[in-house]
């Protein structure tokens, strides 16, 4: 006997209402596409700004009900209240944190990915999209100098990419020790610099491993000589060394070559966190800074940063993809049909099973515009950053904290305290001029311009500097 009630169920008469092609849904889709088209083709992008929880609750309260409000009202709430309460990361004067500036092709195709309901976890279910993603990953691997056999997967973001790479690194170390008849160390250790991204410490906490941070030089860069003492002290308990290819705060690239050269003497997994900065290798203006990345066992780079795709996407590449597959393949009866097949399953290469085909917007944009357009856009950002650094040097009221390597420019307004920076930042946002948040280094408050958007110009930044007089 069925355990289900035989009484009437609410809404069963319209069970497929949300999925069928009806007049209601045709209207809904037309409205959403029209809004998206207007936003994508807007010549002036609104900067916008956050609202308080109290104000949002007053304006948007109890929108979800048993019967719904209809697409027109729901879209109106989003367009006129919710969206303007979010800062537009693709605005050319969004200069805080790390901006995002997706290409028109990438944005438009992100809609197509959703429209086709594609699944990107396995070859069986998504061979076409997996092929396209793998083509994009192979292109990236070639730019980084990794072997043709390198491969990986697009994951959510740099935190997931770093965690997945370190899980694979520890798994590889475990297997090597087991094969050599060695027991596990009392603690596993990952070595990185004090300037490494916070996601490294976060990953270590999740994995219950120890982070040993080593100091950088006066230039803020991690060198092999800084890593060597940690390797000598902790021995093969060190399963990974992480170098940064473009730090978030200063945009600095560690001395990848000198760290990579240590692998001739010590056995460790070399991971390069290039979430923000590694994309700059595409520009001839910066390629030389990344010497040594070709020796990495794993690397990450975030397309939603300097490769101009929508949120959220991180390319994770393994020198030997088998190390990633061994660490991450999930096993269950219902997965046997996938695991026993020889084809490439993206879900085998990171801490995920279900996954969106989030590499497709980058594939489409690269295929549409060509790599040369990317090189030009990245070179523009590098050029503008160095030009504004020169402008800062010329102004007696300002002090450049450090010469920029990539496209992050950090500087101080002489005589200002933290409250002055905060007030200045708030006024810029209130006036819808720019989004520039204060930062700090070694306890000293400063300002930073993160230049990624190819629509950001020196003239725009000069106007902002004028407000600091």
* Cα–Cα dist 252/402, whole Å: 10
| pLDDT of 217 | 87
The verdict on residue 221 lying in a domain is yes
| pLDDT of 34 | 98
The verdict on residue 10 lying in a domain is no
The verdict on residue 218 lying in a domain is yes
The answer to whether 94 and 452 are in contact (CB under 8 A) is no
Confidence of residue 7 (pLDDT cuts 50, 70, 90): low
| pLDDT, average across residues 17-30 | 97
The pLDDT tens digits of the residues spanning 26-42 come to 999 999 999 999 999 99
The mean predicted confidence, pLDDT, of the chain is 95
The verdict on residue 5 lying in a domain is no
The pLDDT tens digits of the residues spanning 113-155 come to 999 999 999 999 999 999 999 999 999 999 999 999 999 999 9
Task: Provide the 3-class DSSP secondary structure of residue 371.
Answer: helix
Final residue in a domain of this structure, among 306, 341, 369: 369
Number of domains in the chain: 2
Which of 152, 199, 111 lies closest to 327, judged by CA?
A: 152
Confidence of residue 260 (pLDDT cuts 50, 70, 90): very high
Q: Quote the crossing angle between the two packed helices 158-179 and 321-328, to the nearest 10°.
A: 90
189 and 334 share one domain? yes
Confidence of residue 8 (pLDDT cuts 50, 70, 90): low
Tell me the percentage of the chain whose pLDDT exceeds 70: 97
Contacts for 436-440: CB closer than 8 Å, 24+ residues apart: 436/95, 436/96, 436/464, 437/96, 437/97, 439/249, 439/410
| pLDDT of 106 | 98
404 and 350 share one domain? no
Classify burial at 12, counting beta carbons within 10 Å of its beta carbon; exposed 0-12, middle 13-18, buried 19 or more.
exposed
- Kindly write down the DSSP assignment for every residue of 445-456, as one continuous string: EEEEEE---TT-
* Cα–Cα dist 407/380, whole Å: 10
* Cα–Cα dist 134/139, whole Å: 8
| pLDDT, average across residues 385-400 | 98
295 and 395 share one domain? no
Task: Provide the 3-class DSSP secondary structure of residue 20.
Answer: coil
| pLDDT of 335 | 74
The verdict on residue 16 lying in a domain is no
Domain that holds residue 356: 110-369
| pLDDT of 11 | 57
The verdict on residue 11 lying in a domain is no
* Cα–Cα dist 269/33, whole Å: 47
The pLDDT tens digits of the residues spanning 150-173 come to 999 999 999 999 999 999 999 999
324 and 395 share one domain? no
322 and 378 share one domain? no
Provide the greatest CA pair distance for the chain.
85
CATH number at residue 358: 3.40.640.10
| pLDDT, average across residues 292-309 | 98
| pLDDT, average across residues 320-339 | 86
The answer to whether 212 and 219 are in contact (CB under 8 A) is no
| pLDDT of 12 | 59
176 and 219 share one domain? yes
376 and 365 share one domain? no
**Of how many residues is the chain composed?**
469
The verdict on residue 136 lying in a domain is yes
| pLDDT, average across residues 234-257 | 97
The pLDDT tens digits of the residues spanning 45-102 come to 999 999 999 999 999 988 899 999 999 999 999 999 999 999 999 999 999 999 999 9
399 and 250 share one domain? no
360 and 383 share one domain? no
CATH number at residue 393: 3.90.1150.10
* Cα–Cα dist 325/445, whole Å: 44
| pLDDT of 4 | 62
The verdict on residue 52 lying in a domain is no
């Amino acid at each position: 006997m069925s355990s289900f009630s035989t009484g009437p169920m609410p809404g069963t008469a319209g069970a497929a209402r949300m999925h069928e092609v009806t007049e209601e849904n045709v209207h809904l889709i037309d409205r959403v596409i029209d809004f998206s088209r207007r936003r994508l083709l807007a010549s002036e992008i609104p900067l916008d700004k956050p609202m308080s929880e109290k104000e949002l609750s007053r304006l948007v309260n109890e929108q979800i009900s048993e019967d719904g409000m209809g697409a027109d009202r729901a879209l109106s709430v989003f367009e006129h209240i919710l969206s303007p309460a979010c800062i537009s990361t693709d605005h050319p004067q969004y200069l805080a944190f790390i901006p995002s500036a997706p290409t028109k092709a990438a944005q438009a195709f992100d809609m197509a990915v959703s429209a086709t309901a594609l699944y990107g976890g396995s070859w069986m279910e998504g061979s076409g999209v997996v092929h396209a993603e793998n083509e994009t990953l192979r292109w990236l691997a070639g730019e980084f100098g990794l072997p043709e056999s390198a491969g990986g997967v697009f994951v959510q973001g740099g935190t997931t990419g770093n965690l997945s790479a370190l899980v694979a690194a520890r798994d590889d170390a475990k297997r090597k020790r087991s094969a050599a008849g060695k027991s596990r160390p009392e603690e596993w250790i990952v070595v990185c610099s004090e300037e490494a991204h916070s996601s490294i410490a976060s990953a270590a906490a999740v994995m219950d491993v120890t982070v040993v941070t080593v100091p950088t030089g006066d230039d803020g860069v991690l060198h092999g000589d800084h890593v060597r003492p940690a390797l000598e002290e902790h021995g093969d308990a060190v399963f990974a060394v992480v170098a940064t290819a473009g730090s978030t705060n200063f945009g600095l690239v560690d001395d990848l070559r000198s760290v990579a050269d240590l692998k001739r003497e010590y056995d460790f997994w070399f991971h390069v966190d290039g979430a923000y900065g590694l994309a700059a290798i595409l520009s001839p203006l910066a390629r030389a800074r990344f010497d040594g990345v070709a020796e990495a066992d794993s690397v990450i780079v975030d397309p939603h940063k300097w490769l101009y795709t929508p949120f959220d996407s991180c390319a994770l590449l393994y020198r030997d993809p088998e190390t990633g597959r061994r660490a991450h393949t999930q096993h269950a009866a219902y997965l046997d049909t996938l695991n026993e097949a020889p084809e490439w399953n993206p879900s085998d290469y990171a801490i995920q099973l279900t996954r969106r085909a989030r590499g497709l917007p980058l594939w489409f944009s690269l295929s549409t515009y060509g790599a040369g357009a990317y090189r030009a856009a990245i070179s523009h950002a590098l050029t503008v950053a160095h030009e504004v650094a020169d402008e800062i040097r010329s102004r007696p009221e300002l002090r450049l904290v450090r010469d920029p390597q990539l496209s992050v420019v950090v500087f101080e307004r002489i005589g200002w305290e933290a409250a002055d920076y905060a007030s200045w930042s708030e006024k810029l946002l209130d006036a819808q001029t720019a989004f520039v948040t204060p930062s700090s280094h070694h306890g000293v408050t400063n300002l930073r311009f993160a230049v990624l958007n190819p629509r950001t110009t020196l003239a725009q930044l000069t106007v902002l500097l004028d407000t600091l007089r």
